[in-house]
Structure 1
Amino acid sequence: MFIFNSSIGKKFIQAVSGAFLVIFLLLHATINFFSVIDSFAGKYGIAAADEALFSKGDGLFKLGCDFMSTPVISIMVPILALGFAIHILYGIWLTVKNIIARGGYKRYEVSSKAATDSWSAKNMLVLGIVVLGFICFHLTHFWAKMQLPEMFGIGEFENNPYLLLNFTFGKWWLLLLYLVWFGALFLHLTHGFWSMFQTVGWNGQTWFKRVKVIGIIVAAIIVLMFATTAVNAFLQANGII
């Protein structure tokens, strides 16, 4: 099929899978940010030290985690994994093809020179590898410790998402690593967002500038929610707030 065999088709698949992942990141970051809201509302589970409060699911973050554990969302997990795999594989394919064609490390051609001048535009493969590596690192901290035990009904973090947040982000060095990762994610998203729209034809100078600004705003919202969640958990875990 044309969409799978041609360069344009592969770029289109890359753009669509990227849009799917941006939506997931917005949802994921929002649910995580609920823990910050819980802190200000006095419903952060650890601070309350009340298991009954957990069981009732009074906090927004707990409710969000419960929602993510519903059968419908669980079915979406392999679809999400497939989306990540497609985005990664096609991204690598496009970059390697571009390197071979141009005889050097550059991103595939874009119509605006200003776009290619940015560091993130020239290093999307490097940023992608950093983001991918830390996703695997992240899964060992959260998915493996909460989602897997939940499937089998075991584990100390199964019904206690606040405890898992504190356990992970309570370590200053882990918090620092995550903050660096969030920075790489921001750079990857800001370039990927406008590149996604450019692939589907929104590459006029007027729209290009607007899409770049929107991309920066969306990336900033996602990363700030993730970063605020991590810093808040660190402060909670160490009794600072």
Structure 2
Amino acid sequence: MIIYFKNALTRKNLMALTGLFLSFFLIIHLLGNLQLLLPEEQAQLQYNAYSHFLSGNIVIKLVSYVLYACILLHTLDAIYLGIKSKRANGQKLSRDRRSRASTWQSRNMMFLGIIIFLFLVIHFKDFWYQYKFGELPKDANDNKDLYTLVVNAFDSIWYVILYSISFLALGFHLVHGVASAHRSLGLYHPFYSKLVRIVGYIFSISITLGYLIIPIFIYLKH
């Protein structure tokens, strides 16, 4: 059962904590996916062995449950805070001059989040569900051949475009999210706020480019 906190600040804390966990997961997931850029035969065996290890490790399974919970909580709280903000400000937001004091991504976090969530649904259906419950062929080491499933998906230009749009949305989402997380957790200080923004930009750009390289590289190669 999900407990809804009455205090908006508590919700923002939850948003920040789940967002930071998801950001950490993005790093780990990217490092694993970069194996797809290896020479084809090596990439197939190594990536499939990596996937097999993740699916059979009890610690990883427990972490995955935390991941699913964080995605759900982050999404629900984002929707709640977005709706509450719109109700609190009414139509005033459509007539003010917020663009002079705020960034585009900060004003469109819910829109960016919806794109990311829809992508996750598609991503889980095409890869996670197929790997867990589908009938995949085996590779030379008798592991499920997730590598070929991924490569075949990125053979489609439309899937590459969908993937690219989703991670561009994620990049903008991270730019604002990382910078605002320390404020939500009460860690804001003028001395290092600029440094946090710079680190947020570097992290967001690195994650976005890292994930974008993979489908584009596979599509051009195959």
TM-score (norm 1): 0.79
Task: State the match for 1:204 in structure 2.
Answer: 189
Task: State the match for 1:109 in structure 2.
Answer: none
Task: State the match for 1:121 in structure 2.
Answer: 106
Q: Is the 8 A contact 2:16 2:184 kept in 1?
A: yes
Deviations 1:89-109 (A, max 9, x none): 111111111111111486xxx
Pairwise CA distance, 1:162: 1.8
Task: Identify unmatched segments of 5+ residues in structure 1.
Answer: 46-53, 107-112
In the alignment, is residue 99 of structure 1 matched against residue 86 of structure 2? yes
Pairwise CA distance, 1:115: 9.4
Q: Give the distance between the partners of 1:68 and 1:114, measured in 2 at CA.
A: 44
Pairwise CA distance, 1:9: 0.9
In the alignment, is residue 12 of structure 1 matched against residue 4 of structure 2? no
Match of 2:150 among 165, 169, 178: 165
What is the letter of the counterpart of residue 131 of structure 1? I
Q: Give the distance between the partners of 2:161 and 2:123, measured in 1 at CA.
A: 13
Deviations 1:71-94 (A, max 9, x none): 321233222111111111111111
Structure-2 change in CA distance of 1:214 and 1:115 (3 Å): farther
Pairwise CA distance, 1:116: 4.9
Q: Give the distance between the partners of 1:105 and 1:230, measured in 2 at CA.
A: 42
Task: Identify unmatched segments of 5+ residues in structure 2.
Answer: none
Q: Is the 8 A contact 1:130 1:184 kept in 2?
A: yes
What secondary structure is seen at the aligned counterpart in 1 of 2:144? coil
Q: Give the distance between the partners of 2:123 and 2:92, measured in 1 at CA.
A: 28
Q: Give the distance between the partners of 1:156 and 1:216, measured in 2 at CA.
A: 41
Q: Is the 8 A contact 2:136 2:146 kept in 1?
A: no
Q: How many equivalent residue pairs?
A: 210
Task: State the match for 1:130 in structure 2.
Answer: 115
Q: Give the distance between the partners of 1:39 and 1:125, measured in 2 at CA.
A: 39
Task: State the match for 1:64 in structure 2.
Answer: 50
- Provide the alpha-carbon RMSD of the alignment: 2.3
Structure 1 window deviating more from structure 2 (86-95 vs 199-208): it is: 199-208
Q: Is the 8 A contact 1:115 1:121 kept in 2?
A: no
What is the letter of the counterpart of residue 148 of structure 1? F
Q: Give the distance between the partners of 2:80 and 2:42, measured in 1 at CA.
A: 47
Q: Give the distance between the partners of 1:115 and 1:128, measured in 2 at CA.
A: 23
Deviations 1:194-229 (A, max 9, x none): 111111123333322211111111112222221111
Q: Give the distance between the partners of 2:100 and 2:153, measured in 1 at CA.
A: 37
Q: Is the 8 A contact 2:137 2:144 kept in 1?
A: yes
In the alignment, is residue 43 of structure 1 matched against residue 42 of structure 2? yes
In the alignment, is residue 155 of structure 1 matched against residue 136 of structure 2? yes
Q: Give the distance between the partners of 2:203 and 2:53, measured in 1 at CA.
A: 23
Q: Give the distance between the partners of 1:67 and 1:194, measured in 2 at CA.
A: 34
Structure-2 change in CA distance of 1:114 and 1:166 (3 Å): same
Structure-2 change in CA distance of 1:8 and 1:115 (3 Å): farther
Task: State the match for 2:67 in structure 1.
Answer: 80
Q: Give the distance between the partners of 1:105 and 1:31, measured in 2 at CA.
A: 46
Q: Is the 8 A contact 2:136 2:145 kept in 1?
A: no
Match of 1:223 among 201, 208, 215: 208
What secondary structure is seen at the aligned counterpart in 2 of 1:44? helix
Q: Give the distance between the partners of 1:166 and 1:209, measured in 2 at CA.
A: 40
Structure-2 change in CA distance of 1:117 and 1:4 (3 Å): same
Structure-2 change in CA distance of 1:62 and 1:83 (3 Å): same
TM-score (norm 2): 0.85
What is the letter of the counterpart of residue 119 of structure 1? W
Identity value in percent: 26
